[in-house]
Structure 1
Amino acid sequence: MFASLLQVYRGSLSGFQVNALFGAYALGLVPALLVMARVSDRLGRRRVLLAALLLCALGSAVILFSGGAFGTILAGRILVGVSAGSAFGPGTAWIKELSDTGEPAGAGARRSALALTAGFAVGPLLSGVIVQWLPSPQTTAYLVHITLVALTLPVVWRASESAPPAASPPAGADGGPRGGAGAMTVLTSRLFVTAVLPTAPWVFGAATVSLAALPVLVPLGGYAAVGGGVIAAVTLGSGIAVQPFARRLARRSPAAPFRTGMASVIAGLLASALTVTTGSLLLLLATAVVLGAAYGVLLVSGLQLAESLAGPRTISTVIAAFYSLTYVGFAFPVLVQVLGKLWDPALILIAGSALAMTALATTLIAWPVRPASPHRILNRSGHDRPVR
């Protein structure tokens, strides 16, 4: 929702303040992700999601009554970030757990990615329409959001809990809970460190460059608000559309979606540099599609790998760690804004593509290219196992 409202605040706040408000969301989100995932393991998913919804409405109310003061809007944005961080890890785990009964492997990750991306896609488009054509957008947009939260609360209240609240399970021989590897074992595993860690920041790095940085760097004329919403919807809609393709890639090999996603990031950043240089609106739309596709492929493949590596008692924590890494990408538009005052923004985007190449290179460490052996195959998480 806030992506389109940025256009409203640009009239009264500096460019740095506006981008800081966009990125401040992650300041509240990342700590909440890491803490509330474990809380939901003890208290249950429903309780945490209900508290997150209430906090989300409170954050919008704080911004609604901020009077345009930067500090108050910042506080509201951080509250919204805390609420999102409280929801994403437990919510993703909840969807996966509810999808485990009689569903194909990976269904939970795909549904979680679809739900998350749909919200990110529809929110800016709806708020873009509000900002462009409805009166008092600073009031109307937040009232719509609070109303939607109120309508969602009873739905979550009636939803089935996936597992009853439980105390910490007994430790296994590896120090982690029985029935799966401990969270630290997963987070320090070779696959997580070499595949998830370097590529996850580019999930939202790709998306936010498209929906937050480019609409500022490319003039949209008198339709900046709705235009920004359209770019956000195209970006994230492409992320939804590409997910079946990501699943087909994953069936070919576990490395394929990660390498394809990072290659799309590189292509998208180079196209972004060209878009900024030419100011072409058609190229802007095409770039949004490429960066959105990169976002979608990396999001669903990263979630699937994280879920496959985690045990049943650590899945919420591992997912939270994955999301925390993805939200590092929310800093990218701020960096483009700050560094753009020193150098040409197109050069900064090109430098970003070079940095993305290093993340692509790490996937060769995660899955070394080697001749196929008739005696060994790869399982879903990319580990070797003997053929039986």
Structure 2
Amino acid sequence: MNRSWQRVALAMFAVGWGANQFSPMLLAYRAELGISTQTRALLFALYAVGLIPALLVGGAASDRWGRRAVVVPFVAISPVATVLLIASAHWVPGLAIARLLAGVSSGVVFGAASAWVSDLSVDDPAGAGARRAALALSAGFGLGPLVTGLVAEVATYPLTVPYLPHVVLGVVAAVLLLPVPGPRPDDPAIRPLVSLPAVTRGRRFLLAVAPAAPWVFGCASISIAFLPSAVDAPTHGELAFAGVLTGVTLGTGVLVQPLARRLDDRRPLLAGRVGLLSAVAALLIGLGALEADSRWLLLVAGPVFGAAYGCGLVSGLREAERLAPPEERGAVVAAFYGLTYLGFFAPYLLGAVGGLGIGPDGALLVAVAVALGSLAVVSAAGRSDQSHRTEPASTELA
């Protein structure tokens, strides 16, 4: 049995750890450097600025030149970005550069490596590749900030020491990835690297996938980067709390994915609709937490945000694989991930909307309305397309 996919999944786990370890550190930078709320939100979002174009280019490049040639170098860049975070502990421009570099590394790896895991899972049940990739990413997203937040709470040097575990993990993952087979495609795609596959401009993708995708990481970002700063609670223990909240949110996202897969098997897009309903519920609980200034309510909202994140991720990945022809799977998956990472701008946008005079409470109510609108569009698209649903060959390769 081919187990090479496990090394690729470990690399995705390591890069996911590096991608999200920054989240609980936002409060450390506030305490140590006095960085403002919007500046911290911008540093958080800069990751997506580097990630989204890298996703689009990386996925198409892996379709053309092969997964291994594209993924291996950028897995190695991930710990380099973390070293830059350590070196720039008291220099905001350096932090911004490190976040951009982490985004570029993640963007190339997530789309191309997800397709690589699917390629290496060809002999396994349908959907195995998408599930394995989603679990690896989610586990890294959840465990990374949990460890970082707990270490930052007790470390003598809270802006540097919490990043060291990822440096070690990233180097180990890069070394273990080197022997994994990834031959160059026999018939590489010849379309421009920056173009989008025709599938991503089709009605099904635009109405059934695109409206829900930003809520995947939008929910995670609101839970871990917006709400903890908006709740007026004592600062004692806030770094550990931020790490635990992030771990709970994204850990739940991992745990619900087997259920999400069963929902998706029962009816395509059902998991995505459940995810959007969870997003609405989580936003309302978050609103209650703001009204009560309660960290405990944030811990109630966290798993619900996580359920929204996990259901949306599995549903979107599997729909992207169903829609994509085999030779464009990397590019289609990358396009889906690019849309999901628009959600990283959610804390900045909510802060900007709240700054218009309605406050964070009003901003969350706006988010509820947008989530309900997304749910309506996805539900309508799902109902209208049920009559012609088929399983293309790309799903059998998942």
* Structure 2 residue 247 is matched with structure 1 residue 233: yes
Contact 1:43 1:166 in 2 (8 A): no
| Counterparts of 1:29 and 1:340, CA distance in 2 | 26
Question: TM-score by structure 2 length?
Answer: 0.87
Which residue pairs with 1:291 in the alignment?
A: 305
Which residue pairs with 2:108 in the alignment?
A: 86
Shift of residue 252 of structure 1? 2.1
Q: Note the 1:1-388 alignment, pairs <5 A.
A: 1-11=21-31, 12=33, 13-101=35-123, 103-161=124-182, 163-169=183-189, 184-218=197-231, 219=233, 221-341=235-355, 342-368=357-383, 378-380=389-391
| Counterparts of 1:67 and 1:126, CA distance in 2 | 18
Unaligned stretches of 5+ residues in structure 1: 177-181, 382-388
3-state secondary structure, aligned to 1:314: helix
Q: Deviations over 1:122-155 (max 9, x none)?
A: 0011101110012212221233222211111121
Shift of residue 109 of structure 1? 0.8
Runs of 4+ with >6 A deviation: none
Greater C-alpha radius of gyration: 1
Shift of residue 220 of structure 1? 5.2
Q: Deviations over 1:249-289 (max 9, x none)?
A: 11221131121111111111111111111122332111111
Shift of residue 320 of structure 1? 0.5
Shift of residue 294 of structure 1? 0.4
Shift of residue 91 of structure 1? 0.7
Task: Report how many aligned residue pairs link the two structures.
Answer: 366
- Residues 148 and 363 (structure 1), Cα distance of their counterparts in 2 relative to 1, 3 Å cut: same
Q: Deviations over 1:198-231 (max 9, x none)?
A: 1100000111101111111122541111100100
| Counterparts of 1:159 and 1:326, CA distance in 2 | 28
Question: TM-score by structure 1 length?
Answer: 0.89
Contact 1:41 1:166 in 2 (8 A): no
- Residues 379 and 339 (structure 1), Cα distance of their counterparts in 2 relative to 1, 3 Å cut: same
Shift of residue 167 of structure 1? 4.9
Unaligned stretches of 5+ residues in structure 2: 1-20, 393-398
- Residues 67 and 122 (structure 1), Cα distance of their counterparts in 2 relative to 1, 3 Å cut: closer
Larger relative contact order, structure 1 or 2 (CA cutoff 8 Å, min sep 6)? 2
- Residues 313 and 220 (structure 1), Cα distance of their counterparts in 2 relative to 1, 3 Å cut: farther
Shift of residue 33 of structure 1? 0.6
Contact 1:26 1:327 in 2 (8 A): yes
- Residues 369 and 324 (structure 1), Cα distance of their counterparts in 2 relative to 1, 3 Å cut: closer
Which residue pairs with 2:8 in the alignment?
A: none
The more displaced of 291-300 and 273-282 is 273-282
Q: Which has the higher helix share?
A: 2
Contact 1:183 1:310 in 2 (8 A): no
Q: Which amino acid aligns with 1:212?
A: A
Q: Which amino acid aligns with 2:117?
A: I
Shift of residue 61 of structure 1? 2.1
Which residue pairs with 2:396 in the alignment?
A: none
Q: Which amino acid aligns with 2:174?
A: L
Q: Deviations over 1:26-55 (max 9, x none)?
A: 010011111111222233222322211222
| Counterparts of 1:237 and 1:215, CA distance in 2 | 17
Q: Deviations over 1:175-217 (max 9, x none)?
A: x9xxxxx963211222101011111000001111011111111
| Counterparts of 1:53 and 1:169, CA distance in 2 | 23
